[in-house]
Structure 1
Amino acid sequence: MSARTLLAVAAVCLSPLAFAADGNADAAKDKISMCVGCHGIPGYQTAFPKTYKVPRIGGQYPEYIKAALQAYKNGDRKHPTMTGIAASLTEQDMADLAAYYGAQK
């Protein structure tokens, strides 16, 4: 994990509401189609580039979701599919998706 990613995670831990207030869960309803194909299937595993268990993101902390998407976008986290998806997201898209999935049970 890079120093930049560690700093982002530390910032999230030290300020748990830093990213939560800026997302709009209702706005994300038009953006989740790129997520549900993998994250919406319980127990789903990808086969590219290797077998990988896709994590459940519903109910995850919004701060973590946003930080993870930012890390995929800036290259600190590596997965071809997630990197491509994150590259297309704006900061507001990330905040909206984080708010939507963070509100799930």
Structure 2
Amino acid sequence: MKKILGVMVLFLALPAFAQAPVGNAQAGKAKTSMCEGCHGVPGYRTAYPHVYRVPKIDGQQPVYIVNALQAYKSGARSHPTMQAIAQGQSDQDMADLAAFYSTLNQ
């Protein structure tokens, strides 16, 4: 009984991991308006906060897109425009956008 109780206590002490939402590409397509202004323009460069080439996200792996958006939202990645956009995104929004962009060819 001691072993069983110990295992139960250990199991109950483990943190509950939330499952990431499954992305819906059709829903993601309807959420791209904030993305297309920069990421949808071939060869686009931005001048704020400095000049750099805006990466294409078509065909990118969903996990990469979600991780990047979460990093902007948390402040781990620092680009003012992307941080502001990511702040307005829910986990489901991020998953949907990632699902949509992963279906496109680069």
Instruction: Note the aligned Cα RMSD (angstroms).
Output: 1.4
1:37-57 deviation per Cα after TM superposition (whole angstroms, max 9, x unaligned):
000000000000100110000
d(CA) in 1 for partners of 2:85 and 2:30? 15
The residue that corresponds to 1:59 in the other structure is 59
Q: Structure 1: give runs of 5+ residues left out of the alignment.
A: 1-17
The residue that corresponds to 1:91 in the other structure is 91
Question: What is the aligned-residue identity percentage?
Answer: 59
The residue that corresponds to 2:47 in the other structure is 47
d(CA) in 2 for partners of 1:101 and 1:68? 13
1:1-105 superposed matches below 5 A:
22-105=22-105
d(CA) in 2 for partners of 1:83 and 1:38? 14
Q: Structure 2: give runs of 5+ residues left out of the alignment.
A: 1-18
TM-score, length-scaled by structure 2? 0.79
The residue that corresponds to 1:4 in the other structure is none
Task: For residue 29 of structure 1, report the CA deviation from its aligned partner.
Answer: 1.8
Letter in 2 for 1:79: H
1:23-48 deviation per Cα after TM superposition (whole angstroms, max 9, x unaligned):
00000122100000000000000000
TM-score, length-scaled by structure 1? 0.79
Q: How many residues align?
A: 87
The residue that corresponds to 2:15 in the other structure is none
**Bigger radius of gyration:** 2
d(CA) in 1 for partners of 2:37 and 2:26? 19
Task: For residue 65 of structure 1, report the CA deviation from its aligned partner.
Answer: 0.3
1:22 is paired with a residue whose SS is coil
Letter in 2 for 1:62: P
